[in-house]
Structure 1
Amino acid sequence: MFDPKTTKYPYTEYTDGHYIKITKDNGLVFDRNYPYIDKSKGFKFKAFWFRLFYRLIILPVSNIRLGLRVKGRKNLRKHKAAIKGGIISCCNHVHYWDFLGISYGIRPYKPKFLAWAQNIRGGLSKPMRLAGGIPIPDNLSGQVAYSKAIRDYLNSGGWLHIYAEGSMWEYYKPIRPFKRGTASYAIKYDKPILPMSYTYRRPGFIRRVIFRQIALFTLNIGTPIYRNKELNIDDQENDLTIRAHEAVCKLANIENNIYEPIFNDSKKINYY
């Protein structure tokens, strides 16, 4: 399996670190009054037209840019009943546009995704919200309203995508340790986790030499995994996090991943 092994990006010391600096701040406050899932008519109207543009223009362009291929869509049909009841997906976060690839890969489902609060305050705030971004509140006053919005969304059959690694590392092949949040949500709301992974392909001459493209992307869609209700809650969370990480590694064709499955102040390993 192709590994880009690029030195272009300043991966951080800790595996959950963000290296992209967000300079703009629109001042949004994610407190108990913020509409984490906006149901207003005005937002729905904007979202309808944005999603139309998204489907007709943005997704085709991003697919070309990523060189996207999708494997495992048959699993969506096979597990339609599980998805209909509400589901949480996780995937390695390896490109600024990789959520677009996920949206295309799981069509016709319309997922929402958890986003770093600084991103929703940044320059792409409006398109991220219209595309389904839900900010994770960085203050206690917003946690109750946020949790209720997530609960209601999942219980209504929603699809929530979580980047379990905690941050984006572009073109990075190893699967970084997972934060416990994905499993925590799955247990709290009794929903399955659908693992996915991005793998890379070597670009052809034109993309590699003329367009300087580092790699092409393949999205691999797995099958749902469920919590083990015979364990206590803490053990369920550990077990589900480990199994979700293992599933993503397997989809990425990585047999001996260099990282532990659960984040524990884990540091970057220089393997090349």
Structure 2
Amino acid sequence: MADNNKKVDHDFQLLKNVKKVKLAKDYNFFNHNPFFKLLSFFTVLLIKVLVFYVFGVIFRGLRIKGKKNLKHLKKERFILLSNHVHVLDAIWIGSLIFPRKIYVTMLQSNLGLPFVGKILRVAGGITIPETKELMVHFLDELKTELSKKTPVLVMPEASIKPYHVGIRKFLSGAFRFAADADAKILPFVYVYKNPNFIQKLYKKKPRIHLHILEPVEVVLGETKQQTLTLTKNKVHQIMSDYFNKHSDLKEENYNEPQKLIESNKRFTKARRALLEVLKDRHLTFKEIYEELSKKGYTNISTLYNNLQFFLDNNLIIKINLDGVKYYDLGLDNPFHDHDSHLHMVIKDEDEYNPTIKEIDYPEIYDAIKSHPVFKHYDIEYIRILVSASPSKHKHK
């Protein structure tokens, strides 16, 4: 029998130095007790006055754009997403939507924070459980709440990085919730604005503005994993594009690969043909040349130069396998569909002609990203090379 109390490899980093909290098997994730709901209402009302208006709007210069998109919350079920740039950013979103009820996901360990844990719970925090048994129970309750058109806010970047410029890599939990509950996604993007003349006299940090974008539907793939990946990539691209268009502080070299590809001067027909040949394939130089020759591109010197051009710009990478070089599209290449690499080299009887298969399972990357050893780092990409051969053992 499977151990239902085994730890879940979910997508949220664990907090340390807090009191450990164990949830009962019948734990009520969404408390509907009338007294609790009344207490929650007045708690959020107080938070809206003090934290949203006084601290946010008056002292931090918080401004809201796109309020009209909140009307969608009345009609359909939604998972709300936002970049995580301030300790109060989730509270500001909840206060903005108030008096409409909203739930905000949080770590189970947050309940162990002295006093704050109870406030978070009363204010609408819902705990992400750490056991598989409770996770099943949690997902069932989550679907029920979403069916009532009660929005749930998730921070897909997981950890707070104050005033980070740009949208960081997303974990998959929020998109799994949306797909399982047949919910749409409503993105919220915090952008930065430079202080005006008067504010420069007393402000060192940029002003924070909150923009509410149009709803995004889950992108259905052939498999559940593909659905999560396609949806995550689509939402991340939308939020990244929006941030870099509307924020006064922008990411350096944002979308340079796309700009390079869109440049008619540097992106010739021969270079486009080279990228098209490598799409979803891993080829040696000889194999690339043979494929391009079929398209009429037979100049070896041009191929050498184009390969080096793409290698220098991180649009193509090399995979060294037993002394043989294979070429693949880089993670920064818009022609590439994935945001991380896991290559499995399958060696059958013919070891001189192995099969290179690209694996895309978000939970593998998320488990690595959430490991404590990386907690002080922002992972830009993950490349893993696994050598394998077909199992000779029969599995029942």
**TM-score greater than 0.5 by the shorter chain:** yes
2:195 matched to 1:203?
A: yes
1:253 is paired with a residue whose SS is helix
Instruction: Work out which of the residue numbers 222, 226, 233 in structure 1 matches 2:213.
Output: 222
2:180 matched to 1:70?
A: no
Q: Give the distance between the partners of 1:45 and 1:251, measured in 2 at CA.
A: 38
Structure-1 residue corresponding to 2:153: 161
Instruction: Work out which of the residue numbers 35, 38, 49 in structure 2 matches 1:45.
Output: 38
1:8-40 alpha-carbon deviations (Å, 9 max, x no partner): xxxxxxxx867xx65342x53234322211112
Residue 242 of structure 1: how far off its partner (Å): 0.6
2:378 matched to 1:268?
A: yes
Amino acid at match of 1:71: K
Overall identity of the aligned pairs, in %: 25
After superposition, the Cα gap between the structure-2 partners of 1:31 and 1:207, relative to the gap in structure 1 and judged at 3 Å, is farther
* Higher Cα Rg, which structure: 2
Instruction: Work out which of the residue numbers 170, 174, 192 in structure 1 matches 2:166.
Output: 174
Residue 85 of structure 1: how far off its partner (Å): 2.3
Between 132-141 and 46-55, report the one with greater CA deviation: 46-55
Residue 42 of structure 1: how far off its partner (Å): 3.2
Q: Which residues of structure 2 form unaligned runs of 5+?
A: 1-11, 246-250, 257-331, 333-337, 341-361, 370-376, 381-396
1:239-269 alpha-carbon deviations (Å, 9 max, x no partner): 1011111121122125826988577345527
Question: Would you say the 8 A contact 2:44–2:95 is kept in 1?
Answer: no
2:179 matched to 1:194?
A: no
1:23-79 alpha-carbon deviations (Å, 9 max, x no partner): 342x532343222111123322321321232233332123234320111112223x3
2:179 is paired with a residue whose SS is helix
Runs (4+) off by over 6 Å:
none
More relative contact order in 1 or in 2 (CA 8 Å, sep 6+)?
1
Q: Give the distance between the partners of 1:202 and 1:36, measured in 2 at CA.
A: 41
The answer to which structure has the higher strand fraction is 2
After superposition, the Cα gap between the structure-2 partners of 1:135 and 1:213, relative to the gap in structure 1 and judged at 3 Å, is farther
1:252 is paired with a residue whose SS is helix
Question: Would you say the 8 A contact 1:89–1:159 is kept in 2?
Answer: yes
Question: Would you say the 8 A contact 1:36–1:135 is kept in 2?
Answer: yes
Q: Give the distance between the partners of 2:145 and 2:75, measured in 1 at CA.
A: 12
Amino acid at match of 2:64: V
Structure-1 residue corresponding to 2:389: none
Amino acid at match of 1:140: K
After superposition, the Cα gap between the structure-2 partners of 1:105 and 1:51, relative to the gap in structure 1 and judged at 3 Å, is closer
After superposition, the Cα gap between the structure-2 partners of 1:205 and 1:222, relative to the gap in structure 1 and judged at 3 Å, is same
Instruction: Work out which of the residue numbers 225, 229, 254 in structure 2 matches 1:234.
Output: 225
Where does 1:1-272 land on structure 2 (aligned, <5 Å)?
23-25=17-19, 27-63=20-56, 64-77=58-71, 79-80=72-73, 83-123=74-114, 124-204=116-196, 210=202, 213-229=204-220, 231-253=222-244, 256=254, 264=365, 265=368, 268=378
Q: Give the distance between the partners of 1:182 and 1:144, measured in 2 at CA.
A: 15
Question: Would you say the 8 A contact 1:111–1:132 is kept in 2?
Answer: yes
2:40 is paired with a residue whose SS is helix
Residue 213 of structure 1: how far off its partner (Å): 4.3
When the two structures are superposed, what TM-score results if normalisation uses the length of structure 2?
0.56
After superposition, the Cα gap between the structure-2 partners of 1:261 and 1:162, relative to the gap in structure 1 and judged at 3 Å, is farther
What is the aligned length? 249
Q: Which residues of structure 1 form unaligned runs of 5+?
A: 1-15
Q: Give the distance between the partners of 2:100 and 2:121, measured in 1 at CA.
A: 17
